[in-house]
Structure 1
Amino acid sequence: MAGTRTQADEAREAVVEAALARLDLDAKARLLAGQDMWTLPALPEIGLKSLVMSDGPIGVRGVRWTADDPSVALPSPTALAAAWDPGLARRAGTLLAQEARRKGVHVLLAPTVNLHRSPLGGRHFEAYSEDPYLTGVIGAGYVSGVQSGGVGTTVKHFVANDAETDRFTVDNVVSARALRELYLAPFEIIVENAHPWGIMTAYNTVNGTTMTEHHHLVNEVLRGEWGFDGYNVSDWMAARDTVAAIEGGLDVAMPGPRTVYGDALARAVRDGKAAEGKVDDAVRNVLRLAARVGILDGAEPVVAEPPEQIDGTELAREIARRSFVLVRNQGALPLRPNGTVALIGAAARDARVLGGGSATVFPARVVSPLDGLTAALPEGTLTYAVGADPNTELAVADKGFELRAVCRDKDGQVIGTGSAPNGQIQWMGADLPDGVTHDTLHTVELTGTFTPRATGPHTFGIKGIGAFTLVIDGTAYYDDVQRPAKDDPFITFFGAPVPRAQPELTAGEPVEVSLTHVVEFPEDAPMKVVGFTLAHQEPQRDPDELIAEAVEAARAADTAVVVVATTDRVESEGYDRTDLGLPGRQDELVRAVAAANPHTVVVVNSGSPVELPWREDVAAVLLSWFPGQEGGAALADVLTGAHEPGGRLPTTWGSLTAAPVTEVVPSDGRLPYTEGVFIGYRAWEKERAIPSYPFGHGLGYTDWTYESAEVRGTTVTVRVRNSGERAGREVVQIYVAPSEPDTDRPARWLAGFAGVEAGPGERGEAVIELPRRAFEVWDETANSWTFVKGSYEIQVGRSIADRRVTATINV
């Protein structure tokens, strides 16, 4: 299913087999275990270089978690999916391959193709959609792009890793039909159409078996039915049992050096507990990957000449503006030429461009909405007010801080220094400053100066576990040990900072700051990590005063643009949401501004749905997702009308009380997916619930007339006309609906889409081939796909709820 091998593939396979034959058991077992956080060991005896992996999916961080090595930061995956353009996804992937090669990375740990099962999923910004077909098609474009640059991908997290709560241990109980029709479907589409070189198995358990040991789903379905021939790597620290993992089809256990493979795997083979043939299968998959990326001597890489260079800044800006979804517009956008604008919101000044967790990268620059509009609008036409700050907790020390890291041994002697562009230290494995080793390192001091932007009580805090000393302006405010609040191996990275000091500081007057951490490496830890954070929060002004200032600014302007946002404590890897509300007093701010200015535009800076209780009270609502490093420039492009907002919703937006599927918290370790195949718009329609904005919805700056839909065989030809006054792009969406209603099946489902571009008055045509799978269901009794014959209505339109023309197909 994944494709037949070419002559070049066969040549690489011959090199792989020859290399495999020269390895003894210990070398083979060692190759399957990470040698550190991000790499596999080199085996010089067969001409194998060390394989390097790096987190994605919006950028390539590389092996160092630091702003010293900047990365292009593209918009979030939800934004990429909102563009509804596999070609754009492919270009994004090609750029990331370019970034990976620049950083010496061979494999990108992306894309995430889990589904938006419940709107409470805290990591949904890192996935594409609630719909498996849209997810699979966008994911296939992304994978094809990355691999066109000679860099591997690991499609993740296989499978049903659709929430964060208890993700290490939860047993997701999913019917075979729901697995096939929803959760496995994106992986299947990508394997069939993009032939990924890697897959990542998830932390969670599915139907009683942890995914790193899931023989049925990995060996029988992924490799057997679908013909996947890439390597299977565990999510970091997900592998638990040596024999069960190798029997279950896990090739690589990451990270190292302590894993269930390596010496443990070799010992299991010698003790007769594991078959060496299984080890050979896994090694063969790793060597095949190495051959494909060009690090195995004698094997010609799949890509000998990388694609032409792509301008990352320009592509980031293009993706952002094409992803923005205009869900409401009462004539407020584009902005009036030469009109005055009041820009309001803390996120307009300190932009949130990406989600929290392992997807974090460090761009060389970030264009905030304030930056973008300042550059785009005539001088003197823009004012700014904070209005309301969503950051009710401390954030990483950044603005105004000039810090460095000083490493000392037990005698207090300096053994090395490193730069610290912000207050976050994350050194994993061998990623230490020059001259520093784990054996000699005793303390790390973050030290430097802080120049406040505001006068008043500044709050400082610490994120991390262990002994800390916090000194500000010569005063020691904390000298004690912080203990973890919960048993989570990633609490150091994803937990909340603890406030520890609140000195009175004066704007513009620098003070010395120092945070010293005593480093400990537990003997049973799977890897050696130095991780802690100096956090900070500016003086908190009276919220009523801030809102009042924003109202006055709005009243004095022709248009008010309010930027509202979520925070790292709302959307991040590591935890789910408890509600869909905007943090802080942002809803109150919007209502107050809208009451003062009827031309109020709200820009929603979130990676996934939030509730918008004021949406009918404002003139326009624009969803900007997490827009990447060029988000502010792209926002100016769209607000001024230089470009239209091109996005359509990849996920239903609605209130939590109306949402049909909300459960993400396991009970007794189990989370039953009781809704079966009804998630997303399928569930909203089944429950006859009305969302705020339906799946597929999005407005541009022109109008479209749907003239006809014609079906020949399984090919649908749709003709549309641009009936507006400016050029634009329409996303033609096709939904298939059984003519005979069936309570066991959704009322309709997405079966195809295409973009059409046309000038004013011009016609465009979309030709869309419907896949066979659009007419199949998984028969749990027969354990196979069943083609459901009959009459179907082909419904064509602008969203799941705005269907303009229809046709009938009999299959």
Structure 2
Amino acid sequence: MSNSERIEQLLASMTLEEKVSILSGEDFWSVPAVDRLGIGKLRVTDGPNGARGGGSLVGGVKSASFPVGIALGSTWNVALLEEIGAALAEEVKSKNAHMLLAPTVNIHRSVTNGRNFECYSEDPFLTAELAVGYIKGLQDRGIGATIKHFVGNESEIERTTISSEIDERALREIYLLPFEAAVKKAGTWGVMSSYNRLNGTFTSEHNWLLGTVLRDEWGYDGIVMSDWFGSHSTAETVIAGLDLEMPGPTRDRGQKLVDAVKAGTVNQDILDRRVLAMLRLMDRVGSLDDHRPHAERADDRPETRALIRRAGAEAAVLLKNEGVLPLAGTGTIAVIGPNAKTAQIMGGGSAQLNAHYRISPWQGLVSAVGENRLRYAPGCTNDRFQPVLRGPFDAEYFDNETLSGTPVYVGTQEDAQTFWIGRVAEGKVDPLHFSVRLTGHFKPEHSGAHNLGIYAAGFAKAYVDGKLIADAWTNWSKGRTFFEEGCDEVVGSVMLEAGRAHEVVIEFATKDFSTLGLAALACGIGYPLGDAAIAEAVGAASGAEVAILFVGRNGEWDTEGSDLQSITLPGRQDELVAAVAKANPRTIVVLQTGGPVEMPWIGSVAAVLEAWYPGQEAGNAIADVLTGAAEPSGRLPQTFPVRWSDNPAHSQDREVYPGLEGKVRYEEGIFVGYRHYDKLGLTPLYPFGFGLGYTQFALSDLVVDDSDFESDGVVNVAVRLTNTGAREGSSVVQLYVSDAEASAPRPAKELKAFAKIKLEAGASTTVSLALDARSFAFFDTHAKVWLVEAGAFTIHVGLCSTDLPLQQQITRKSALTLPL
């Protein structure tokens, strides 16, 4: 019996209730088995920069932490993305799961989107090519990809309810393109609908999006699952094309769907299509016959460590270098900044996981050059919240929301940060209706005033030595934490004595949620750094051969559920950079951010390296680049503007961004990223595709073969790339297309091909780049076709979007229409 015959037979054998059961989750991470028919349980796990497994968003079984999306976007290396996808497949298997909730391919519309770190690029073509590699790597090893979020989730503000108002041309050319490539080129097995509405309708029940475009036009035969709690109806979602409601227990299906089918509201044929898609998926990922007990492993593989380190180094983008990198000499190195001894390896939200380990830049440099050469000063802090209190904490759980009576469960907790989802207190309490008291101790390093902060998706209070210090209970109001389900941090001041173990008691109770059914808490204590800390950093820098500043943001700022309010460095970091650079002209700035930042000090520093969040090997990867053990071969996947106001989403009209009265209007249309800067003639701080290395490259001998351009729109391009420097290195050859004679507004140029090439010093190679007809087309919204018009097109080839020295014009005599 063939696989398809077996699936059809299973479908015919299932009762209505059994069919409905596999169209929604059983719990937070799985779809129920159908024991009577031998259908196993399907399990999913969060990605995209690792496989967390079935635990909470904090803690749980340890996992490998890979570079985040924007870092992978910076590699411009499709083969590397496929390699990473393959490694992630093994990670998913170690968590006994069958699907990874990844990759994330939303577009960098705004420089302030809190989830930019998780996405690849501002450019849809670069995003699409990288996503295809990632998906192939996963699925070639039997693990299903779940490309997300389909579509229009380019901001975290009111994301579960807001309507993204996007015209069809912008949708087709920018926002849908990575998903189209994932379906047509990679054959993705899963698509996740976004939380938001698209032009007024929730994407999880959008007939045009899920039916007309995804299935009818693109021929998609995988499943569409909701984002967690992103389903809002029963019949509407099933009819539109949402196969799987997540998580469980179901809110919109189950008996409601059984009743809808019996009443004729949902046609039996439509239901069977949804069930057939689920069975097909289960067959593809092997869960149909997977009856193993659920068990998770922490596989810390040497080959995975090496891959993460290599990828982290390749992602680093060298933005400026006035002869100070790679590091040379034997003198003292001042290591300064809030990210120097803290390993910033990932962003926040559902992408976070419990990494096997975290290598800080300090640790990486100690291994690379020896601790005797290093001098450390923190300079300032960059925390959004007070540093999380580390435990252990005794935890008393109550099966009520008033902390009353005898605890029904007593346990321990590692620290004062947790998500309570799924099974809480070994099932002794309702996960959405309970209270808990945490008791622990904090021993400060300094005497004096400390800040205690607390925030929660729920009600919370924090006491020190019996005194209430921070109250996020009495006047709780919704803020920008915990996916917009939590309050903003409430901060109180408390005098503490160095070396004394002060008792800390935290009380928490659940509350009604808006959209996402979760309970969460974070509490921290911090010691403020002032002028003396900056003075100490200046002192360390002034006596050093070179000063390296590790500054930027962290996963508290770059996080799901909260956009940034500016792109200036948090806290006093700009002041710190300026002061250190004044004391030592050989100052190197290493940025770790999830996107662009403003750099008012750029003229006074000798070098700038953007290292992003490169995963658990962060410090080693950064040290490899700084010392020259690895080449900084990253290229910017997002334009760095001079200031936030230069960005295409910045507007005085709040409906354009951040949104107004439930709508966010994509007024700029197709003019996103570098297309916007070209249109307005704005000079960015650093352009799309830019990046320096430790060697130099030259392009020559452009050859364009347009012999098939008139007949089928195909053009083949060849160009000579030469490493003119003194050491091996990599470069990215980039090809852009212009259509100056178009009947519709078109960008000045658009990326349509690229290739990353490594060459020995003095070596040359011919780089071939192929263009298909879509490379020259725009979407005609009236005729509903992709249109290549008659007339002249210009091919530009270079090493970044503003460095395109080679050009050639080609011409078509007739128009060409392409199918959807």
Scaled by the length of structure 2, the TM-score of the pair is 0.91
Q: How far apart, in 2, do the equivalents of 1:790 and 1:336 lie? A: 54
The CA deviation at 1:62 is: 1.1
Segment of structure 1 superposing worse, 256-265 or 75-84: 256-265
Q: Distance in 1 between matches of 2:70 and 2:142?
A: 25
Q: Which residue of 2 aligns with 1:302?
A: none
Provide the rounded CA distance (Å) in 2 between the counterparts of 1:465 and 1:322.
38
State the secondary structure of the residue aligned to 2:307: helix
**Would you say 1:797 and 2:790 are equivalent positions?**
no
Give secondary structure in 2 for the equivalent of 1:584.
Answer: coil
Post-superposition offset of 1:435: 6.4
Q: Which amino acid aligns with 2:38?
A: G
User: CA separation of 1:331/1:478 partners in 2, compared to 1, >3 Å: closer, same or farther?
Assistant: closer
Q: How far is 1:283 from its partner?
A: 0.9
Relative distance call for 1:240 and 1:686 in structure 2 (3 A) is same
On the 8 A contact 2:32/2:42 being kept in 1, the answer is yes
1:7 equivalent in structure 2: none
The alpha carbon displacement at 1:689 in A equals 0.4
2:482–2:520 contact (8 Å) kept in structure 1: no
Counting only pairs closer than 5 Å after superposition, residues 390-405 of structure 1 correspond to structure 2 as 390-398=382-390, 401-405=391-395
* Partner of residue 281 from structure 1, selected from 273, 281, 291: 273
Q: Does 1:23 align with 2:10?
A: no
Q: Distance in 2 between matches of 1:316 and 1:705?
A: 30
Distance of 2:385 and 2:342 partners within structure 1:
15
- 2:85 corresponding residue in structure 1: 93
User: Is the Cα contact below 8 Å between 2:76 and 2:635 reproduced in 1?
Assistant: yes
Aligned to 1:304: none
SS at structure 2 position matched to 1:278: helix
Q: Is the deviation greater in 702-711 or in 441-450?
A: 441-450
Q: What is the CA-CA distance between 1:308 and the residue it aligns to?
A: 14
Q: CA deviation at 1:366?
A: 0.6
- For 2:750, give the aligned amino acid: W
Asked whether the equivalents of residues 132 and 186 of structure 1 are also in contact (C-alpha less than 8 Å), the reply is yes
Structure 1 residues 793 and 259: CA distance shift in structure 2, 3 A: same
2:525 aligned partner, one-letter code: Q
C-alpha contact (below 8 Å) 1:789/1:810 kept by paired residues: yes
Q: Distance in 1 between matches of 2:439 and 2:66?
A: 31
Aligned residue type for 1:540: P
Report what 2:731 is aligned to: 730
In 2, Cα distance between equivalents of 1:392 and 1:272: 52
Give the distance between the partners of 2:138 and 2:110, measured in 1 at CA. Answer: 29
Q: Which residue of 1 aligns with 2:621?
A: 634
Q: Report what 2:661 is aligned to.
A: 668
Matched, 1:270 2:258: no
Deviation at 1:149, TM superposition (A): 2.3
Aligned to 1:216: 208
How far apart, in 2, do the equivalents of 1:177 and 1:756 lie? 33
Report the Cα offset of residue 497 of structure 1.
Answer: 2.7
Aligned to 1:45: 36
Residue 777 of structure 1 corresponds to which residue in structure 2?
778
Q: Distance in 1 between matches of 2:614 and 2:481?
A: 29
1:104 to 72, 96, 102: 96
State the match for 1:57 in structure 2.
Answer: 48
Structure 1 residues 33 and 68, CA, compared in 2 at 3 Å: closer, same or farther?
closer
Sort the Cα spacing of 1:456 and 1:629 in 2 relative to 1 into closer, same or farther, 3 A.
Answer: farther
Higher mean C-alpha displacement, 745-754 vs 479-488: 479-488
Is contact 2:345-2:614 (8 Å) kept? yes
Q: How far 1:560 sits from its partner (Å)?
A: 0.7
1:266-345 to structure 2, matched below 5 A, reads: 266-297=258-289, 311-345=303-337
Q: Counterpart of 1:562?
A: 549
Q: 1:373 aligns with which of 360, 365, 369?
A: 365
Q: Does 1:765 align with 2:753?
A: no
Give 2:695's match in structure 1, choosing from 702, 712, 728. Answer: 702
Give the letter aligned to residue 205 of structure 2: E
Q: Return the alpha-carbon distance in structure 1 between the equivalents of residues 52 and 254 of structure 2.
A: 27
Q: Is the 8 A contact 2:432 2:517 kept in 1?
A: no
Mapped contact 1:328–1:620 kept (Cα < 8 A): yes
Equivalent residues in 2 for 1:459-498, closer than 5 Å: 459-473=451-465, 475=467, 477=469, 481-482=473-474, 484-486=476-478, 490=482, 495-498=487-490
Instruction: Say whether 1:679 aligns with 2:672.
Output: yes
CA deviation map 1:641-662 (0-9, x unaligned): 1111110000100111222332
Give 2:521's aligned residue. Answer: 532
**Equivalent of 1:235, from 227, 230, 235?**
227
Question: SS in structure 2 opposite 1:157?
Answer: strand
Measure how far apart 1:30 and its partner are.
Answer: 2.0
> For the structure 1 residues 478 and 724, does the alpha-carbon distance in structure 2 shift closer, same or farther, using more than 3 Å as the test?
closer
Give the direction of change, closer, same or farther, for the CA distance of 1:251–1:749 in structure 2 (3 Å limit).
Answer: same
Q: What's the offset of the Cα at 1:203?
A: 1.3
Q: 1:439 to 1:202 in 2, by over 3 A?
A: closer
Counterpart-to-counterpart distance in 1, 2:486 and 2:387: 12
Aligned to 1:745: 746
Q: Find the residue that maps to 1:154 and give its secondary structure.
A: strand
Cα displacement (A) at 1:600 = 0.7
Please say which of residues 462-471 and 672-681 is displaced more in the overlay. 462-471
Task: Provide the secondary structure at the position in 1 that maps to 2:805.
Answer: strand
SS in structure 2 at match of 1:311: helix
Alignment match of 2:647 (pick from 659, 675, 684): 659
1:502-551 superposed Cα distances (whole Å, 9 cap, x missing partner): 24131x4433333233456x5x9888644222x21321132x21111111
Asked if the contact 1:652–1:680 (Cα under 8 Å) also holds between the matched residues in 2, the reply is yes
Find the aligned partners of 2:140 and 2:28 in 1 and give their Cα distance. 26
Q: Structure 1 residues 120 and 488, CA, compared in 2 at 3 Å: closer, same or farther?
A: closer
CA apart distance, 1:329: 0.7
- Partner AA of 2:526 in structure 1: E
Give the percent of matched residue pairs that are identical in Structure 1 and Structure 2: 38
How far has the Cα of 1:180 moved from its partner?
Answer: 0.5
Match of 1:348 among 336, 340, 345: 340
Does residue 407 of the first structure (1) align with residue 397 of the second (2)?
Answer: yes
Q: Which residue of 2 aligns with 1:225?
A: 217
1:572 counterpart (559, 571, 589): 559
Q: 1:310/1:221 Cα in 2 relative to 1: closer, same or farther (>3 Å)? A: farther
* Aligned equivalents of 1:298, 1:257: Cα separation in 2: 21
Equivalent pair of 2:444/2:496 in contact (CA under 8 Å):
no
Q: Deviations over 1:61-116 (max 9, x none)?
A: 11111423111111110000100001111111111111111111111111111101
The AA in structure 1 aligned to 2:113 is G
Structure 2: how far apart are the matches of 1:392 and 1:352? Answer: 14
Q: Which amino acid aligns with 2:573?
A: Q
The match for 2:584 among 594, 597, 605 is: 597
RMSD: 2.5
The 3 A distance-change label for structure 1 pair 310 and 243 is farther
* 1:437 to partner: Cα distance: 4.2
Does 2:2 match 1:11?
yes
Paired positions, count: 787
Aligned to 2:605, which of 611, 614, 618? 618
State the distance in 2 between where 1:782 and 1:418 align.
64
Tell me the residue number matched to 2:815: none
Q: Once the 2 structures are TM-superposed, how far is the Cα of residue 472 of structure 1 from its aligned partner?
A: 2.9
**Local SS of the residue matching 1:702:** coil
1:176-217 CA-to-partner distances (Å, cap 9, x unmatched) read 111101111111111111111100111111122211111111
- Matches of 2:200 and 2:789, distance apart in 1: 31
Query: Could you tell me which residue of structure 2 aligns to residue 126 of structure 1?
Result: 118
Mapped to 2, the partners of 1:99 and 1:769 lie a distance apart of 34
Q: Classify 1:505/1:16 alpha carbon distance in 2 versus 1 (closer, same or farther; 3 Å).
A: farther
What is the aligned counterpart of 2:242 among 215, 239, 250? 250
Distance 1:579 1:379, change over 3 A: closer
Distance 1:191 1:797 in 2: 30
1:409 to 1:238, Cα distance in 2 relative to 1, 3 A: closer
Q: Match of 1:169?
A: 161
The superposition leaves residues 203-250 of structure 1 with CA deviations (integer Å, 9 ceiling, x where unpaired) of 111122211111111111111111111110011111112121111111
1:189 aligns with 2:188: no
Change (3 A) 1:489 1:565: closer
Equivalent residue for 1:36? 27
Distance change in 2, residues 1:248/1:483 (3 Å): farther
Whether contact under 8 Å (1:120, 1:664) holds in the other structure is no
**Contact residue 122 and residue 570 of structure 1 kept, 8 A:** yes
- Among 632, 637, 658, the alignment partner of 1:650 is 637
Distance in 2 between the 1:382 and 1:555 partners? Answer: 13
